Chain A
Amino acid sequence: MFKDIFRKTKYVTIKSGQTQNRSSNEVSPQKESGVVNRKELPDGLWAKCPKCGEVLFNKNLEENARVCTTCEHHFRISASLRLSLLVDENSFEEWDAELKTLDSLEFPGYEEKLLEAQEKSGMEEGVLTGRAQIEGIPFVIAINEAGFMMGSMGSVVGEKITRAIERAIDLRLPVVIFSTSGGARMQEGIYSLYQMAKTSAALGRLAQNRLLYISVLTDPTFGGVTASYASLGDIMISEPNALVGFTGPRVIKQTMRQELPTGAQTAEFNQEHGLIDLIVARNQMRPVIARLLRYHQEGAQYDATV
């Protein structure tokens, strides 16, 4: 089998010309010697699918929006890649990129963690916000960056999302948020916790203004993000097999000594329990969101004439 031959080449690491995100060209030696997430994809020529074990040619994987060509497993992707897969070319205008995180609690190791995350993700913080268009329809978008401290929500993430929602109200635009997050960021203590309330309150105002909010859950979404903006969509979408829940499986196992059944907390599990509307594959995301935006655009126009 070819597969076996490829497995033996695991010592070969050739840098692929096509890189995963903006920053990976500038990987510092510091990062390489530092702690690297086990689940992180190698920047090499090949990637192994964590679900079916198939060894995939990275170039093919990129062309397939980082979805396994054999089993359709959705690899985690960066916010910038997701943006480019989703919105009309050159339609994105970034907002609030100038917000800078402060270590106001002087939390042990936080500043180093932030620098590491910035280097790893090429982003200033864990969310990208702004306005864009899909098939010419304008909307406000926010995308969590998994590569930035697992998309955790501190003051800046909460503030950027809140501002994006508030600006959507001013501009009378719908909002689409892609979440990927481990939850509230403990390094900012109570400030992080209250970002949950802040973002939820802003979505309350959006709803009062009868503007659409589509929440898209991607792998993984947990904790304080699940318990705030990610769960408040008029329409709840998830990528296939994404793990979504309040408490992570490891914590449930530790604290409750409860073994979760196979498939618990997947998108499919959540849909079965009535918690999400649609499971949409990555390559279908753009047309599905376009349709939803279009149908609500008509409603919004009707509302504006009343």
Chain B
Amino acid sequence: MTQLFEFEKPIAELELKISELQKFSAEKGIDLSQEVMTLEKKTALLKKEIYGNLEPWQKVQIARHSERPNFYDYVPLLFDDFIELKGDRLYADDRSIAGGIALFHGIVVTVIAQVKGKDTKENIKRNFGMPHPEGYRKAIRLMDQAEKFGRPILTFIDTPGAACDLGAEERGQGEAIARCLLAMSDYHVPVISTVIGEGGSGGALALGVANVLLMLENSFYSVIAPESCASILWKDTTKAKEAAAALKFTAQDLLRLGVADELIREPQGGAHNNLHQTAEELSQVISRYLVRLRTESPEALRDKRYEKLRAIGSFQEIYDNSSKRLD
């Protein structure tokens, strides 16, 4: 049974009514096709109305949907081949980050992705998609290889945030993420990052220092989880809905703020409603950017990535001639 959100219930009710009518008509041999058609039209309109005007919090729910496709769902649809490579050579293999070599539209690429589980068992294995330092260090190791062998890097972001437990602190979570940011800023190969679900704070950004940032249209990417923001602002985690609106973190917001380069269409109601269609859209858009980036020189790739980062932010410069001196 697909997980249904509160805002989807009117649609489900109409769909139930339609199926009841169809059943009734089949059983009694009465022609109700006219009524069914009217209801179907009404449903289509309602869907357009609801899914076309999703609020930030509703998008958060879709992005976190338990059946939302994860990286492994996309692998056979996006790549002609994928060889997964494991471990950071220092401590462990973190299963909340997957990485390896893949064949994408005939091009050999390095792929790094955050992976959430689909059920409790898998989530425990993958730490709910929250990477530890060893995950980030594995990512650096594999991306360094991409640089060495001149392979483009594709990253897929989907995490509530970096792991926040004692082990993560002991092994230098902050350092691992910082090293990832620095490493990614310095590569001479194309880097394309795609947010496919949840982009949770620094833990997500660690894979997001890219030439091109793409976002699935119902994904979000935020400096802080809406629940934590609500807890800090209003001391009330139930106000996450208000925080979601204040943080301006939907794919549409990020496009407007100049952080995301392009949004990728999802099937109506979200990626979980049609994996193949979503994968096809992803494949087309990523491929288009990859073709373009491969024409750039290694130096230009690195410099333009730096310039792109350099331009993110909002401030005002007030010039006055009085030079300020302290002490």
Contact = CB atoms under 8 A, between A and B. Distances in A.
Interface in A189-222: 189-198, 200-201, 203-205, 207-208
A258 B165 contact: yes
A159 interface: yes
A97 B205 contact: no
A194 B246 contact: no
B164 A232 contact: no
Given A98-B320, A190-B259, A224-B202, A92 B173 contact: no
Contact of B313 (A159, A232, A247): A159
Contact of A189 (B170, B186, B248): B248
A94 B325 CA distance: 6
Contacts of A92: 325-327
Nearest to A186: B224
Contacts of B175: 226, 231-232, 275
Contacts of A242: none
B56 to A, nearest CB: 12
Which residue among B173, B175, B221, B305 has the maximum number of chain A CB atoms within 10 Å of its CB? B175
Contacts of B315: 99-102, 155-156, 159
Interface stretch (A61-69, A105-113, A277-285, A297-305): A105-113
A191 B169 contact: no
A97 B325 CA distance: 10
Interface stretch (A37-45, A82-90, A287-295): A82-90
Nearest to B320: A98
B209 interface: yes
Contacts of A264: 166, 169
Contact of B223 (A102, A108, A184): A184
Contacts of A275: 172, 175
A186 B172 CA distance: 23
B122 to A, nearest CB: 19
Interface in B224-242: 224, 228-229, 232-233
A265 interface: yes
Contact of A245 (B169, B186, B254): B169
A108 B164 contact: no
Interface residues of B, number: 59
B247 A246 contact: no
Contacts of B184: 197
Contact of B178 (A191, A229, A255): A229
Nearest to B259: A190
Contact of B170 (A108, A201, A273): A273
Contacts of B206: 227
A162 B174 CA distance: 19
B313 A94 contact: no
A186 B162 CA distance: 17
A198 B206 CA distance: 12
Interface in B156-200: 162, 164-166, 168-175, 177-179, 181-182, 184-186
B247 A204 contact: no
B249 A189 contact: yes
A163 to B, nearest CB: 10
Nearest to A102: B314
Contacts of A9: none
A260 to B, nearest CB: 6
B7 to A, nearest CB: 24
Given A186-B229, A228-B178, A252 B162 contact: no
Contact of B247 (A186, A224, A245, A260): A186
Contacts of B221: 190, 193
A126 interface: no
Given A246-B173, A264-B169, A89 B327 contact: yes
A128 interface: yes
Given A92-B326, A190-B257, A245-B169, 9 more contacts: A94-B326, A190-B249, A194-B259, A194-B313, A200-B178, A246-B164, A251-B228, A264-B166, A275-B172
25 contacts: A80-B326, A92-B325, A100-B316, A100-B318, A156-B315, A184-B202, A189-B248, A190-B221, A191-B314, A192-B223, A194-B259, A194-B313, A195-B312, A196-B181, A197-B184, A197-B309, A201-B309, A204-B182, A205-B306, A231-B174, A232-B179, A246-B164, A247-B165, A251-B164, A274-B172
| 8 closest cross-chain pairs (CB), A and B | A226-B174, A201-B185, A155-B313, A247-B164, A200-B181, A246-B173, A227-B177, A104-B314
Interface of B: 162, 164-166, 168-175, 177-179, 181-182, 184-186, 201-202, 205-206, 208-209, 221-224, 228-229, 232-233, 246-249, 253-254, 257, 259, 305-306, 309-310, 312-320, 324-327
